[in-house]
Amino acid sequence: MKRTVALLLAAVLTLICCSSALAAAPDRYTITNPYADVDWESAGQYKTALHTHTNASDGSATLRQSIERHVETGFDIVAVTDHGVVDQGWDDGAKQNMIKTLLGVLGRSEGDLEYLGDEGTFADGTNYRLTKTLSGDDYLYAGERTILRLPYGVENNAVSVNAHVNSWFVNSTDNSVTTYEDAVRRIEREGGVSVINHPGEYTKARYELTSADAYDEENAAYAYYINKYAYLLDKYPSCIGIDINSKGDDRTRFERVLWDILLTRFSANGRNVFAIASSDAHQLNKIDTGFSLLLTPALSSAAARRALEKGEFFAASHCIGNPEELEEYSAALRAFYGEGNRTLIRVDAALAAMRERIDGIEAGRYDRDDSIGAEYTVLDGNGFTTVDSFPSVKAIRVDDNENTIGIETGDALIVRFVSNGRTVAVLPADDAVLDLDDYGDLIGDYVRAEVFGDGGILYTQAFLLNAEAHAGSADVVKGVRELGFLDFLLAEINRWMKVIARFFRSVT
């Protein structure tokens, strides 16, 4: 019955997209599986914080408080990535810096720095100790938990206008006025790994109200920014991708739109673009909002780096802020599991709050245009989860001969497959096998999956289709790619033109 409902939903989605489900598909796809080398029986799935802050820059908590909360919320790997401050270690408190001083003057950093020392006791009574191995890796042992410190985390471009780039593994930063490319080029030259943080902060896509408007390629400003990010990812392979869900997902709710645009371009060239999720936590109650799950055989920085570079990880979040995505999950939950299940109640409550906020902005009931400010979340006000489960992937099975991608899940309800920015299929989690032959020209040059459950969402990296045949056959940059440092003004102009138009609509 669930399978029948899934196929009916897919048919409806096909009609909406004006696509033909009966269109001829290739006799056989060659599927590039980013998880092909993962041993699902032995690999660890390490909960990883790739982007978090302390009061060494503009976070409200000390490093000691931040690490204690990461212990409490079950993290296995933590990168401390303060603005313009390279993380040299968690033991030594002698790290005052000009960034903290400057931000203190601006009222964005308060309190003394507080590190861990070699050993001690957290506020909750948990004893801990720090050790460094012969390989140079730092480990925190706290109670029954072991946490790996990801070395040399930093958020670059500290004094730039939201052109933020996270990097790891290289002891370097530049606190002059720099651009995206300045940071990414330096990180590649010095042997690090980077990712573009929350693109919607720079593009102002965070202020859009619908997925259709966000990153609309007919909009000159968005077309430019898409080209800018495509250029960076194309030229600098050490920049592995973009952040698609962070800090509760209110401001990043449209980054999946950007990711799909980039994937559409890159997969037509036989290449991938990876996505991370993070907390970007400036407060303790944000630490468990978003994270990445690294699939590695060992808890080490070398293994973590390999996973990031190969795409052997999932982006994950306890929060979803995109109303169109939640509407699809609501419909699927109702179809597969009926009215009254607790997840559907939560999703519909979040949707109601989002719709009220959107309607209020459109009608001018709010004094200023802002992000929607509502999301599906299972975290309480203190940042702790209110449910006992989180969706997981137990194994991924790809069969080129049968043209299928199967996702074996745990604690999940729905698996949504996406290609070229369109929903291909929404399936019940206990029968999440996508047969590419069933979906005709809904299938583009890649497929990615979202695994949704009561505890939140998990995003797979993309599976490329016929990548070898596509290699080098398409341009990923389709227009102007760089207008200089002041190009952030395009976003401001674009945003305020829409605000003005919205105002006149509300008074007429």
**Full DSSP string of 420-479:** TTEEEEEEEGGG-EEEGGGGGGG--SEEEEEEEETTEEEEPPPEEESHHHHTT-S-S--S
pLDDT in tens, 198-208: 999 999 999 99
CB 494 within 8 A of CB 242: no
Report the amino acid identity of residue 147.
I
Residue 18 confidence (pLDDT): 38
- Dihedral class, residue 89 (left if φ above 0, else alpha if ψ from -120 to 50, else beta): left
How, if at all, do strands 119-121 and 414-419 pair? unpaired
Six-digit token string for 226: 């898409």
389 C-beta neighbours (distance < 10 Å), count: 14
Q: In this predicted structure, what is the pLDDT of residue 384? A: 98
**Six-digit token string for 500:** 């003005």
**Which pLDDT value is given to residue 100?**
75
Look at residue 436 and give its three-state secondary structure.
helix
Task: State the pTM of this model.
Answer: 0.93
pLDDT of residue 105: 65
Instruction: In whole angstroms, give the CA distance from residue 415 to residue 433.
Output: 9
- Tokens representing residue 457 in the block: 């969402």
Spatial strand order of the sheet with 193-196 comes to: 154-156, 165-168, 193-196, 239-246, 274-278
451, β-bridge pairs? 415, 458
pLDDT of residue 21: 37
- CB count in 10 Å sphere of residue 484: 6
Contact predicate 405/449, CB 8 Å: yes
pLDDT tens for each residue of the chain, 508 residues long: 444 444 444 444 443 343 333 344 556 799 999 999 999 999 999 999 999 999 999 999 999 999 999 999 999 999 999 999 999 999 986 565 777 777 776 677 788 899 999 999 999 999 999 999 988 899 999 999 999 999 999 999 998 889 999 999 999 999 999 999 999 999 999 999 999 999 999 999 999 999 999 999 999 999 999 999 999 999 999 999 999 999 999 999 999 999 999 999 999 999 999 999 999 999 999 999 999 999 999 999 999 999 999 999 999 999 999 999 999 999 999 999 999 899 999 999 999 999 999 999 888 888 667 788 889 999 999 999 999 999 999 999 999 999 999 999 999 999 999 999 999 999 999 999 999 999 988 999 999 999 999 999 999 999 999 999 999 999 999 988 888 888 989 998 888 888 787 777 767 6
What are the two backbone dihedrals, phi and then psi, of residue 171, each rounded to the nearest 5 degrees? -85, 75
> What would you report as the CA-atom Rg of the chain, rounded to the nearest whole angstrom?
22
The CATH topology of domain 44-321+475-502 is TIM Barrel (3.20.20)
Q: Are 429 and 414 in contact (CB under 8 A)?
A: yes
Question: What residue ranges in 69-223 does DSSP mark as E strands?
Answer: 77-78, 119-121, 127-132, 138-142, 145-149, 154-156, 165-168, 193-196
Q: Where in the chain is the domain with CATH 3.20.20.140?
A: 44-321+475-502
At which residue do the structure tokens 């630490």 appear?
Answer: 287
Distance CA 147, CA 116 (A): 13
Q: How many CB atoms lie within 10 A of CB 7?
A: 15
Contacts of 491 (CB under 8 A, 6+ apart): 202, 203, 204, 221, 225
**pLDDT at site 364:** 82
